[in-house]
């Protein structure tokens, strides 16, 4: 296993090419659910959970079903359907086994299906860890790690943003900038700060 | 006819997907680095929007209410796959620049929003015009944002150099610039059209 690649997956997905602030994936929940810290935390946790597990499932589907039968063109359809049904399944399992967690995640769980970060990370896994129709060595491990770390990066950005927006609520800003426009300008400054992490080299 | 025209114009102005509804922002930000990619993305999304809107509204009475979302997703994903394959075959450089944002058209909220909010309740002709309007509004918004970013961020428009000796403000071509331009444009459109 390549330690450099491992480190670059971890640091890269959490800080340097953060899913929200650098790759622009999952902006809808980022803007929609970041008004308060509590819901932002739950949303981030739910995303980590779904991202990691859907990385596992889609890797298996691509490697064991689509590749052997030359059906790579079905990637988009099969992935989105699997993610949608998997989110439903996860919802049912969590409801049965851990009602407290279910209540904390609430409406955010079904919303995750349409979160482009989830489909994005699974497609990226396939693009990065398969070369010429073959899985790289340890590619399964890399894919799962990337799913988990992308989720962590998502959680980090959500938490920071919700902290800032809680403060912004009590400030006097121009009417036309209130809400979403200001959220984007704040996100832009955060993204500028996160670019500083790109100094890390491996 | 006048009604159909109204369906078309509302997508461009009153219910513009980017500026009024704030939908489909992920691709808007990510691929608006140059006018070419912005236009390509807009046209691809418009094609998917037209296809899915017409098909969904044509079979809207046959879809059981409970499983409508999975049905919509399958229809949308079919059109996205068509776009993906056509783009790889005929426009390989564009396909490479857009990258994972082509498959990600599936989860573009505009398309789902129009399927659920319009096509599932209206006949095919009106849905077609709704899709055309929304697609045009999305494409225009994308071209506007990418033109600003390309002009200031790299001093070019459509790849042609605008001003000689201009030192490009690189930040606008990078990630923070996208967020900043979109935030300011949203604020500006709120100010001009008095939206709240």
> Could you report the per-residue pLDDT of A138-168, keeping only the tens digit for each?
889 999 999 999 999 999 999 999 999 989 8
Q: Using CB atoms, pick whichever of A25, A81, A180 lies closest to residue B26.
A: A25
**Are A76 and B69 in contact (CB < 8 Å)?**
no
For B119-140, what is the mean pLDDT?
91
Q: Chain B residues with CB inside 8 Å of A28's CB?
A: 25-26, 109
For B174-181, what is the mean pLDDT?
89
pLDDT for the residue numbered B195: 59
Q: Does B173 touch chain A (CB under 8 A)?
A: no
**Are B25 and A188 in contact (CB < 8 Å)?**
no
User: Over 80: is that where the pLDDT of B151 sits?
Assistant: yes
pLDDT digits (tens, 9 = 90+) for B49-67: 999 999 999 998 888 887 8
pLDDT for the residue numbered B10: 82
- The share of chain B scoring above pLDDT 70, in percent, equals 99
**How far does the CA of residue A116 sit from the closest CA of chain B (Å)?**
6
User: Over 90: is that where the pLDDT of B83 sits?
Assistant: yes
> Contact A110/A91 with Cβ under 8 angstroms?
yes
Distance CA A110, CA A98 (A): 17
Q: Chain B residues with CB inside 8 Å of A31's CB?
A: 22, 25
Q: Using CB atoms, pick whichever of B25, B69, B104 lies closest to residue A120.
A: B104
Angle at A86 between CA A80 and CA A90, to 5 degrees: 150
Q: Chain B residues with CB inside 8 Å of A154's CB?
A: none
Distance CA A45, CA A119 (A): 17
Backbone phi and psi for residue B157, each to the nearest 5 degrees, phi listed first: -140, 125
Q: Which residue has the tokens 């509204």?
A: B57
**3-state SS string for A89-124:** HHHHHHHHHCHHHHHHHCCHHHHHHHCHHHHHHHHH
Most confident range (mean pLDDT) of A87-91, B10-14, B117-121 is: B117-121
Three-state DSSP class for residue B161: strand
In chain A, which residues touch B (CB < 8 A)?
Answer: 21-28, 31, 73-77, 80-81, 84-85, 114-116, 119-120, 123-124, 127, 174-177, 180-185, 187-189, 191-192, 195
> Contact A33/A108 with Cβ under 8 angstroms?
yes
pLDDT for the residue numbered A145: 93
User: Over 70: is that where the pLDDT of A202 sits?
Assistant: no
Maximum CA extent, chain A: 60
For B168-193, what is the mean pLDDT?
87
Mean pLDDT taken over chain A: 85
User: Over 70: is that where the pLDDT of A172 sits?
Assistant: yes
- Total of domains in chain B: 1
How many contacts, defined by CB atoms under 8 Å, are there between A and B?
A: 116
> DSSP secondary structure string, A58-72?
HHHHIIIIITTTT-G
**Are A22 and B178 in contact (CB < 8 Å)?**
no
Q: Which residue has the tokens 């920071």?
A: A160
User: Over 90: is that where the pLDDT of B7 sits?
Assistant: no
Q: Chain A residues with CB inside 8 Å of B112's CB?
A: 114
The residue segments making up the domain with residue B142 are: 2-195
**Are B74 and A77 in contact (CB < 8 Å)?**
yes
Q: Does B186 touch chain A (CB under 8 A)?
A: yes
């Amino acid at each position: 296993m390549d330690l450099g690649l491992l480190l670059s997956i971890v640091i890269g997905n959490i800080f340097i090419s953060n899913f929200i602030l650098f790759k622009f994936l999952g902006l809808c929940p980022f803007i929609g659910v970041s008004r308060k810290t509590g819901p932002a935390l739950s949303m981030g946790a739910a995303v980590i959970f779904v991202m990691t597990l859907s990385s596992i499932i889609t890797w298996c589907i691509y490697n064991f079903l689509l590749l052997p039968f030359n059906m790579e063109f079905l990637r988009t359809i099969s992935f989105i359907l699997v993610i949608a049904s998997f989110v439903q399944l996860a919802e049912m399992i969590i409801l049965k086994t851990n009602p407290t967690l279910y209540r904390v995640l609430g409406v955010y769980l079904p919303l995750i299906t349409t979160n482009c970060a989830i489909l994005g990370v699974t497609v990226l896994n396939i693009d990065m860890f398969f070369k010429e129709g073959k899985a790289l060595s340890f590619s399964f491990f890399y894919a799962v790690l990337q799913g988990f770390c992308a989720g962590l990066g998502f959680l980090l950005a959500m938490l920071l943003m919700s902290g800032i927006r809680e403060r912004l609520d009590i400030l006097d800003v121009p009417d036309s900038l209130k809400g979403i426009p200001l959220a984007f300008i704040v996100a832009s400054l955060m993204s500028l700060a996160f670019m500083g992490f790109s100094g890390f080299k491996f | 006819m006048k009604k159909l025209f109204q369906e078309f114009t509302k997508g461009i102005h009153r219910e513009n997907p980017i500026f009024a509804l704030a939908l489909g922002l992920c691709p808007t930000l990510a691929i608006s680095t140059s006018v070419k990619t912005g236009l390509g993305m807009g046209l691809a999304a418009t094609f998917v929007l037209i296809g899915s809107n017409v098909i969904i509204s044509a079979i809207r009475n046959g879809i059981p209410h409970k499983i409508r979302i999975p049905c919509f997703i399958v229809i949308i994903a079919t059109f996205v796959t068509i776009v993906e394959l056509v783009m790889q075959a005929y426009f390989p450089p564009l396909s490479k620049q857009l990258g994972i944002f082509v498959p990600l058209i599936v989860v573009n909220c505009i398309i789902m929003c129009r399927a659920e909010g319009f096509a599932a309740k209206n006949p095919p002709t009106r849905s077609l015009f709704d899709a055309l309007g929304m697609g045009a509004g999305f494409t225009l918004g994308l071209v506007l944002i990418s033109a600003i970013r390309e002009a200031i961020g790299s001093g070019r428009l459509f790849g042609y150099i605008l001003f000689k000796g201009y030192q490009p403000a690189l930040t606008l071509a990078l990630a923070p610039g996208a967020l900043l331009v979109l935030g300011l444009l949203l604020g500006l459109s709120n100010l001009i059209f008095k939206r709240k």
